Amino acid sequence: MKGHIHILGICGTFMGGIALLARELGYRVTGSDASVYPPMSTQLRAAGIDLMEGYLPEHLQPQPDCVVVGNAMSRGNPLVEHLLNSGLPYTSGPQWLAEHVLQGKWVLAVSGTHGKTTTSSMLAWILEHAGMAPGFLIGGVPGNFGVSARCGDSDFFVVEADEYDTAFFDKRSKFVHYRPRTLAINNMEFDHADIFADLAAIQRQFHHLVRCVPGEGLIVYRHGVPAIDETLAMGSWTPTTSFGIGEDSAADWRAQLLVEDGSAFRVQPPGAEALDVNWSHCGRHNVENALTALAAARHVGVTPELSAAALSEFQGVKRRLELLGTPGGVALYDDFAHHPTAIATTLQGLRARAGAGRVIALVEPRSNTMRMGEHRGQLSAATAAADRIYWFQPAGMDWSLDAVVADSPVPAAVAHDIDELVRQVAGEAKPGDQVVIMSNGGFGGIHQKLLDKLLETAAL
């Protein structure tokens, strides 16, 4: 046993991944969280990790060798105060990852406002399919692997590179710790209004990341995004390759949709023959994610042909347009979308897939940025591809969704009660409809409640 580490905020997707990596490396791992819940708690306990509910000073008995502090922890937390007073060694999750896992690795980092989890999962699967046995740390559970993190059996490591801050004692973005050799920038928009004042503040952090990529590395980026172009213009010492959709795109890697819903597309790699990808996923945004993964994989020697074959077997990621079931012919999806752009692109993909059926969306604006109202002016337009929208007003949100409903281009309503919302949607949904639940949280357990109610309705 290498030693004992205790993780604060262990049930978050990133910190849970740190816990799995540490356990695999031979550490004794324990952890605390305000709420210990599946699926992360199940994954951690199966790995032999002891979990403790709440943040009590006695959780640090027996005394660990090091405490890894999640970025949800703040001053005033009783366990944080005890940690500081005790003089115990502590570090952040990204710093621990950099020092104990990433040293000596070829790091492939996937960054951007949207699509990081899905693209990281695609990239890890492409490398796995190519026999490269990569390690990875992803903020979700890829279907092809069933776990969110592993050390791997090679020098390659794929990491989801988040711009959120590192810890209460380190306000740099997490991704500056990773020192990637291959960096992907999917897109760049304003988000995380709780820590960033504006888009320029986010660009500054991305510039710090770009400065760390070696001259013999590669930056893969989405073509035609002014925020990305401006960031690279701040200073870049690394070769770049771009991607974009459309035959007339000026991007290096181009894709053409062969089917409107994106379930088949043609890729034109730079200097190579075009090839077709057929897969079970939909949406223009997923085609862009695939281009990112194809270009990044090419940098470590995977041919586009092999990558395309891997994508045809890509199983997606839990909570990223994950099909929960088709009770009574109604397709019910769970999706993590929590930004207007992500909501819009997901609904557009479903609209293209739905055919004659309707797209019904249930949206909980739960993220810190949403709760602050930063995106309220963009929310109505983001739902234009749906046929019906139900907005759920979370408790404690200090602005009303009524104005979003008033401006909605499609029929919309505000819901305040989960059970009543379940009854309403189950009574309205018909065979052929696509119903998607959108939230980056638990949404009051609505996923299982609606699935059960639809099954009950279908049996009548």
Question: Are residue 364 and residue 262 in the same domain, yes or no?
Answer: no
Predicted local distance difference test score (pLDDT) of residue 82: 96
Question: Are residue 86 and residue 205 in the same domain, yes or no?
Answer: no
Look at residue 99 and tell me if it is in a domain.
no
Tell me how many domains the chain contains: 3
Predicted local distance difference test score (pLDDT) of residue 367: 65
Question: Are residue 302 and residue 329 in the same domain, yes or no?
Answer: no
Q: 408-423, pLDDT tens digit by residue? A: 899 898 989 999 999 9
Question: Are residue 15 and residue 70 in the same domain, yes or no?
Answer: yes
Q: Is 222 left (phi over 0), alpha (psi -120 to 50) or beta?
A: beta
With vertex at residue 340, the alpha carbon angle to CA 139 and CA 148, rounded to the nearest 5 degrees, is 10
Tokens of 390: 């139900």
Question: Are residue 178 and residue 295 in the same domain, yes or no?
Answer: yes
Domain span holding position 28: 4-92
Q: 223-279, pLDDT tens digit by residue? A: 999 999 999 999 999 999 999 998 778 999 999 999 888 889 999 999 899 999 999
Question: Are residue 78 and residue 55 in the same domain, yes or no?
Answer: yes
34 pLDDT higher than 80: yes
**Model confidence at 456, in pLDDT bands (50, 70, 90)?**
confident
CATH value at residue 81: 3.40.50.720
CATH value at residue 362: 3.90.190.20
Question: Are residue 163 and residue 280 in the same domain, yes or no?
Answer: yes
Residue at a domain's end among 276, 292, 311 = 311
Question: Are residue 76 and residue 116 in the same domain, yes or no?
Answer: no
Question: Contact at 8 Å (CB) between 68 and 18?
Answer: yes
Residue at a domain's end among 276, 311, 346 = 311
Look at residue 356 and tell me if it is in a domain.
yes
Q: 60-80, pLDDT tens digit by residue? A: 999 999 999 999 999 999 999
Q: 315-342, pLDDT tens digit by residue? A: 988 777 788 889 989 999 898 876 787 7
Question: Contact at 8 Å (CB) between 267 and 304?
Answer: yes
Predicted local distance difference test score (pLDDT) of residue 374: 63
Question: Are residue 397 and residue 248 in the same domain, yes or no?
Answer: no
The closest of 290, 295, 297 to 311, measured between CA atoms, is 290
CATH value at residue 186: 3.40.1190.10
Look at residue 421 and tell me if it is in a domain.
yes
Question: Are residue 215 and residue 73 in the same domain, yes or no?
Answer: no
Question: Are residue 212 and residue 160 in the same domain, yes or no?
Answer: yes
Look at residue 317 and tell me if it is in a domain.
no
Look at residue 286 and tell me if it is in a domain.
yes
- Can you tell me whether residue 197 is helix, strand or coil? coil
Look at residue 98 and tell me if it is in a domain.
no
Q: 101-128, pLDDT tens digit by residue? A: 999 999 999 999 888 999 999 999 999 9
**Model confidence at 404, in pLDDT bands (50, 70, 90)?**
confident
- Rounded mean pLDDT of the chain? 91
Question: Are residue 80 and residue 122 in the same domain, yes or no?
Answer: no
Residue at a domain's end among 278, 311, 344 = 311
